[in-house]
Structure 1
Amino acid sequence: MVWFALDDGFDTHPKVRKAGNAAVGLFVRLGVHATKHLTEGHLDGDIVRDYGTAATIRKLIAVGMLHEPGHGCRRCPQPADGGYYLHDYLDYNKSRAQIEAAREAARKRQQKGRDTARANRNGRDSGVNLNSNSRQNERSSRPNCAENAPLFDDEPAGQDGSSRRDTHEGATVVPSPPIPSQNYDVADVDGGTTGSSPVDLDAYAPSPIDIDGWTLTDGLRRWAHRDGYATLVDLDYETAQFLDHFRGNGSRRPNWNTEWQKWIRRAHKWATERSRTSNVIALPGQPGAPLTGTDAKVAGWMAIAEQLRQQGDSA
């Protein structure tokens, strides 16, 4: 499933205001049709005339939201004879090739996850533990705690008499936490990893953002540069954060392009606020540091004395 992308400032755009609600409704229907059928913004004339009236079609053409053959917009391709084209469609929406590639990648991920789940289920049904070798190695490499543990006497520590916690009677038994599995990568101090085998992330169900095949398009990059967000925001870094966030919570958004644009706007706002706030704090006695305590009182007395001196000079 794919979505027709609209910017979150679409409702207040001058073209939208000038076109009016009826024409904008036609524009949205045409956009959904183009996205559903992967036409990359090209529209058959019969579809346009079936969806809208002659007046609404003329309004979209007049404001530049819809192009007919022979139009003068340099950013948009020419439609076929008798057809139309949605202005800047590929700037905000994926091409047919991108959508088909994303669908195929999602299909392969899902199939791999199903195959892995089926193999694990068959292994359990046959009584074979697929991870028995790694776990056996883990147990064999683990030191024998009972043999190597030092011997202690049974006397209570730091007390003359025994307490309730020094005896089995009345003591609260707290179960030991389970030993975590070592079948995952753990970052080491020198930058390497430890663990018996890494987790195959593709074996798990893919997140909605991956199933939908969202990627950062050139059109979205142009939008960020055009509106000035790229001056303070690292687009690649924020995109990685964006993907990690939605892969982590597994939620789905109706329009990933719009969600990414909101993410970039927030990142730009925070970067702007940080640039306006100095992170250098002057210590007491340094230039720019606020006066406190006795220093503040002395400064106040000196200000009063200077004011009296000036009044005396002017008398």
Structure 2
Amino acid sequence: MKLVIVTDAWEPQVNGVVRTLGKTRDHLLEMGYEVIMITPLNFKTIPCPTYPSIRLALLPYRKLANMLENLRADAVHIATEGPLGMAARRWCLRNEIRFTTSFHTQFPEYLRLRLPIPLSWSYAWLRRFHRPAARTLVPTISQQQRLQHYGFRDVYVWGRGVDTQIFKADIAIEYDLPRPIFINMGRVAVEKNIEAFLDLQLPGSKVVIGDGPDLETLQKRYPKVLFTGAKYAEELAAYLSGGDVFVFPSKTDTFGLVILEAMACGLPVAAFPVTGPKDIVIKGQTGELDWDLQQAALNALNLQKNDCIVFARENSWQKCSEVFASYMYNNGAPTPIKTAQKLSPKAE
């Protein structure tokens, strides 16, 4: 079976969407599928406004349409709602090709943090984008319920995994810092709510691992915090394993892949009880969820690292990829979703 995955988020970006799609592709290939990625690397790009490290495809429709026409894939999955996603959606509708989509990021909430745009407007646009999809895949049950609340249809759960060959507690760096060490990892940007972590009155030290548009500003504002910059693979795992608690202050993530990665390295999690953390964290066992994030972080110090490691190991990318592959078929039957079924003229 030949699968085409269209995504505006791809390497060299480092984020949960890219890791999810990359791991899914790798496991699908191992399972015998032919997987073709259509990404910004195939097109001329421009920097994303307010986030120049993200490159957006410039006027991609004609080239993308030719690629899809020539590939003649058995299934098309549109992973993002950016320029490539919109172009792929347009081509599928024009050619009466069914497709699936996924909802990785709470863009309405992200957008509202930067611009005074009502959530209802953004969700209306996203609802229209995803409506003609045979299925819209989300990472958690609570995100599924959230989209259904906003009027989305045919929403299915496609979970996330962790690479326990990389993320493990075998090797930990020795921080030359007062303990306990509270760690945050991810994109250093306003939508991640990192300042809620940095402002906590906690004993010991704080460490932020990652890069992003707000890194330089936060370094100046919080000189006592160790900002390591981006780390990768085994080095990243070592930095995580050297800490005591992982603090996840985001209120807008649909999952929080970094939570599983931190758990795999033996870190209990402190987070708000919101979509993402509440779907992953077992309160009192692998982490603490509380609207008082400081109390959650302090309580997490009392949890056992091994409980976190055991839980993380139960969430494999292999299982997630098998679920993804099953959604590329109509109702689980061995007939690919790509067919010449007529779509309602109202769908576009």
| TM-score category (smaller protein) | under 0.3
Structure with bigger strand share is 2
What is the TM-score when the length of structure 2 is the normalising length? 0.25
Q: Say which structure is richer in helix.
A: 1
**TM-score, with normalisation over the residues of structure 1?**
0.27
Larger Rg, first or second structure (1 or 2): 1
